[in-house]
Structure 1
Amino acid sequence: MPQPSEPPVTLERTLEEIWPPFGLRIESPRLELRVVRETDFPAYVAAASSGVTHTTRNPFRQAWNEKDPEALIRASLPFLWSTRSAVSPEHWHLAFGVFLKDSGDETSTAGQPGHGAPAELIGMQDCYAHDWPILRTVSSGSWLRADRQGQGLGAEARGAMLLWAFDHFGAEYAESGAYTWNERSRRVSESLGYFTSGTQRVPDAHGVEPEWEHLFRLPKNDLLRPGFHIRVTGNAELKRFFGDD
């Protein structure tokens, strides 16, 4: 006599389990870095279109920050989506949103990350790599909303990213770049131990005139470690996702 069939077993998994880049969290005393999702896009557009530079010249490689909000949406959201297809063990791009915690969550003990949920998205701290298993080198780019600059938050975001990359993810070098006139970016790099490894001639943000760009490099052992600790979650899962555990 046939037995009644058992209902199929459904193994539901969270989004972070399905796509581990979404599960990585890097917490510093005032900030949390995590890969942006679609639910973050309205806050991203608001931050990006509110002004991100005080300089008279455009500090970026493309003039994306000069677009009106509608043009910014058309250009930026496809770019954010494209970073997900740029994720593999060899080449990856993590588009970290920089989230400012509520003031009451800043620190639990001196120099330690707080435990509260992040509040507002105030900028981006991208981290990407090519030929990762061979070179073990991360590159980065970043921006902050203009009204959140000058408070040490950009240096904290870059420092938190470097602590994760070197101490938790196996990076051996970090690289960055900035136009030679961009003193603020240069100071952030030098404060963390980067040295100038050369210069190159590149088009300006509008693709009209040439600019000179400083190239910065940072070996792991030369990191000038920030005066804070980070809390990292989701790192082991991300390393397994990359086949790098």
Structure 2
Amino acid sequence: MDPLDVWPFPALRVTSGDLELRYLDDDLLLQAALLAADGVHAADAMPFTVPWTRGTPAEVATSVLRYQWSRRAELSPERWVLELAVLRGGELVGLQGAQATEFRVTRQAETGSWLGLRFQGQGIGTRMRRLILHLLFEGLGAERATTTAFADNARSNGVTRRVGYRENGRDVLPREGAAAESIRYVLTRDAWAADPDRPEVALDGVAAVRRHLGVPD
């Protein structure tokens, strides 16, 4: 039996120019953990609902490993979290993920991501979001993509609006012991297709991933 028949994700590639999304195998996962340990945001900021970036560098790296290993173990057609390494010119710069519950029914997925601090402000965030959206809409047949960001996370909100999402409500969430406003966004298939700046994207290994996730053709 071909190992990819059992676990097809290592063959998945989403590529545009020098940027690539690739399955997070153990080698890339260790690189991602060490990158996160070097810093993901300023010390006085917290862009995440779960403050996994707090702690010593070793604690942050360990948190990344444990989280990612747990997501692999729980991946199923009913509920999945697909985390992909973001590589620019072959160098790992961050992670881009998508998650869904009963995607084969709802055709809706939520995106989330992070970049190493030293790679921020270079336009990579916008590019990697467009790549994961191409995978969701073109590769997996999504009808809607959602995302959230705290109101004070200017870069994340900027990327989200730039690629065509519309605001879909606001919530007040606890963040490190204080209330913080979080913005919900939604992007429809039609809005994604109308984006004039969508790049040329190559998809590889998607058909087997669809079958594994129970998504009909």
Quick check: 1:19 aligned with 2:12? no
| Alignment-mate amino acid for residue 211 of structure 1 | A
Q: Is the 8 A contact 2:34 2:61 kept in 1?
A: no
Alpha-carbon offset, residue 201 of structure 1: 1.0
The residue aligned with 1:94 is 82
Partner in structure 2 of residue 28 of structure 1: 16
Secondary structure in structure 2 of the residue aligned to 1:79: helix
In structure 2, what is the Cα distance between the partners aligned to 1:59 and 1:20? 32
2:67 pairs with 1:67 = no
CA RMSD of aligned residues (A): 1.5
- Give the letter for the 1:44 counterpart: A
Q: Quick one: distance in 2 between partners of 1:17 and 1:68?
A: 39
Matched, 1:139 2:106: no
1:239 is aligned to 2:210: yes
Aligned with residue 179 of structure 1, among 150, 156, 175: 150
Summarize the alignment of residues 198-217 of structure 1 with structure 2, pairs less than 5 Å apart.
198-204=169-175, 206=176, 208-217=177-186
Q: List per-residue Cα deviations over 1:2-51 (Å, max 9, x = no partner).
A: xxxxxxxxx5x24x343112221101112111121112233112211111
Q: So what's the TM-score if we normalise by structure 1?
A: 0.82
Secondary structure in 1 aligned to 2:185?
Answer: strand
Deviates more, 1:35-44 or 1:179-188: 35-44
Conserved? CA contact 2:37–2:58, under 8 Å: no
Deviations 1:182-210 (A, max 9, x none): 12111100111101100011111x2x111
Does residue 1:127 correspond to 2:98, yes or no?
A: yes
CA shift at 1:126, angstroms? 1.0
Aligned-residue offset at 1:225: 4.8
Displacement of 1:65 in angstroms is 1.5
Looking at structure 2, the residues matched to 37 and 137 of structure 1 have their Cα atoms a distance apart, in angstroms, of: 25
Secondary structure, counterpart of 1:65 in structure 2: coil
Aligned to 2:189: 220
Unaligned runs of 5+ in 2: none
Please list the CA deviations of residues 151-190 of structure 1 after superposition, one character each: whole Å capped at 9, or x if unmatched: 1101100001101111121100000001111121111001
Tell me how far apart the structure 1 counterparts of residues 107 and 32 of structure 2 sit (CA, whole Å): 29
Q: From the superposition, tell whether residues 55 and 157 of structure 1 become closer, same or farther in structure 2 (CA, over 3 Å).
A: farther
Task: Give the structure with the higher percent strand.
Answer: 2
Match of 1:79 in 2: 67
Q: What is the aligned length?
A: 214
Structure showing greater Rg: 1
Moved >6 Å (runs of 4+): none
Which residues of structure 1 form unaligned runs of 5+? Answer: 1-10, 102-118
Q: Alignment partner of 1:185: what SS? A: helix
